[in-house]
Amino acid sequence: MASASAQCLPTEIICSICKDTFTDPATIRCGHRFCTPCLCLLWEDAPTVTCCPVCKAASPKMDLKSTILAKKHIRSTGNSVICQLPGSAKQMCRTHQVIKLYFCEADKSLLCLFCSRSTGHATHEHYSVMQVAEHYREHLLMQMKSIWKKKQENQRNIKKVTNTFRAWEGFINLRLVMIRAEYPKVCQYLQEEKQKHLEMLAIEGTVIFQRLNRNVARMIHMGKLLRKTYEELKEMCLKADVDMLQGVEDTMKRSQLMQLYIPQPLDPQLSTWTITGMLERLNSFRVYITLDGKIRNGCVPLIEALRRLQCGPVDRDVPWDAACPENTPTWGAQTFTAGKHYWEVDVGNSGDWVIGLCKESWTSRNDMLLNSEDIFLLLCVKRKQPSKNQRRTWRKNLPDLCSLWLEDQHSF
């Protein structure tokens, strides 16, 4: 319904949807102009092809970029609007029987000219009601745009969670098929474990679906709240200056608080369970690799190209400089004479490092070379083009049995 103040305004600044003055006006493809909030609310549930509310011409959905075309024109009529207000809205000063045209920034109250010069307000900053109202309208428009963006984001999240729901249905079914296919390969006594895993998986799947459903429900509910808040902000923008200033603070606070609690899509995950005997079966495929001293190519595929061994330029005559802190060896506390052993060494982001095994006699020496006897070294060096006096070298100084796990991003 059009406001009383809008009836005396020129038709070119009246929105044909809300029948009121423009709120953040925008022009669509056909040339007609409407309030941006009116188009947002009208086209939200519209089909894929949206049309002009006046001429019904097809028009793409807006990207919510404001086109303030009539703002100055609307401002120019502001002085006449206040004269059209009913007497109850003029906020007459009971003491001086004049209209309150000033806003006190200190105590957020409306004052007449005489009250603004009184002892209690003489030191305060005062602004015209129209100026303060325009300031708050701009902030309301910013809140409306923010609310609408959050609502669009919420709608995208709903679609995302819906797609995730469908994907997880297929994933759960695929996991069930995988488990049923794997367990017949093991002994009969694993049947109880298999049933337990299936039951736990079914329970987790039910919980995940329940959480996803609750997540979607919360997003749908939040979408309704965001729309309601958006409409409240729009109504607040259309109120008269004095009426708007009385409730704008609370409305903006509620709008800002609501945006802090926008639900986000869940990222569900399944628990992992150990299948008895799986690790032992995988270990039966383990392959031990040794380096061949006859290799001359710097990039050699091993075991049907499943592993790749690379080396960079190495100078065989470069000694291990113990005086340099970066090249000082650090000896492990563990020693051994026989048996199987396992190490994990974190080399970080270093591009040059050496790790290996040696006899205990080397721990008291500082003249180690890359080709010294009784050592086994695994090297990582930054790859560069070798000079004429350099050549790639491979050493094969291996103990009888060595097992080493190296976790690093570089390839060898």
Q: Can you spell out the DSSP letters for 98-146?
A: SB--EEETTTTEEE-HHHHTSTTTTTS-EEEHHHHHHHHHHHHHHHHHH
Q: Tell me the pLDDT tens digit for each residue of 78-109.
A: 444 444 444 444 578 787 778 877 888 878 87
d(CA 32, CA 21): 15
Question: DSSP H helical segments within 14-65, as ranges?
Answer: 36-43
pLDDT attached to residue 37: 80
Q: Tell me the pLDDT tens digit for each residue of 224-245.
A: 999 999 998 888 888 888 888 8
d(CA 282, CA 98): 92
- 81 or 14, which is more confident? 14
**In degrees, to the nearest 5, what angle opens at C-alpha 68 toward C-alphas 62 and 73?**
140
- 47 or 278, which is more confident? 278
Mean pLDDT of 351-374: 71
Across the strands, what pairs with 359? none
- Domain covering 1-84: architecture: 2-Layer Sandwich (3.30)
DSSP 80: H
Mean pLDDT of the chain: 70
- 9 or 376, which is more confident? 376
pLDDT attached to residue 207: 93
Q: How far is CA 67 from the centre of its chain?
A: 30
pLDDT attached to residue 89: 46
**pTM, to two decimals:** 0.42
259's enclosing H/E stretch is helix 241-259
pLDDT attached to residue 201: 92
Structure tokens at 15: 């929105």
Quickly state the pLDDT bin for 219 (edges 50, 70, 90).
very high
- 399 or 135, which is more confident? 135
Residue 33: C-alpha distances to residues 47, 61, 67, 140 (Å): 21, 14, 10, 20
Q: Report helix, strand or coil for 401.
A: coil
Strands 344-346 and 405-407: parallel
Quickly state the pLDDT bin for 213 (edges 50, 70, 90).
very high
Quickly state the pLDDT bin for 205 (edges 50, 70, 90).
very high
Query: Worst-scoring range by mean pLDDT, 93-102, 193-202, 374-383, 399-408?
Result: 399-408
Question: DSSP H helical segments within 287-393, as ranges?
Answer: none
Length of the chain: 412
- Boundaries of every domain in the chain: 1-84, 130-259, 289-412
- How many other CB atoms are found less than 10 A from the CB of residue 140? 22
Query: Worst-scoring range by mean pLDDT, 2-11, 276-285, 303-312?
Result: 303-312
- 331 or 297, which is more confident? 331
Across the strands, what pairs with 278? none
DSSP 310: E
- How many other CB atoms are found less than 10 A from the CB of residue 36? 24
Q: Report helix, strand or coil for 317.
A: coil
Is residue 148 exposed (0-12), middle (13-18) or buried (19+ Cβ within 10 Å)?
Answer: buried
Query: At 33, phi and psi to the nearest 5?
Result: -120, 135
Q: How far is CA 41 from the centre of its chain?
A: 27
d(CA 90, CA 107): 19
Whether the Cβ atoms of residue 298 and residue 198 lie closer than 8 Å to each other: no
d(CA 330, CA 358): 12
Fill in the amino acid letter for 286.
R
d(CA 55, CA 201): 57
d(CA 157, CA 160): 5
Is the predicted pLDDT of residue 159 greater than 70, yes or no?
yes
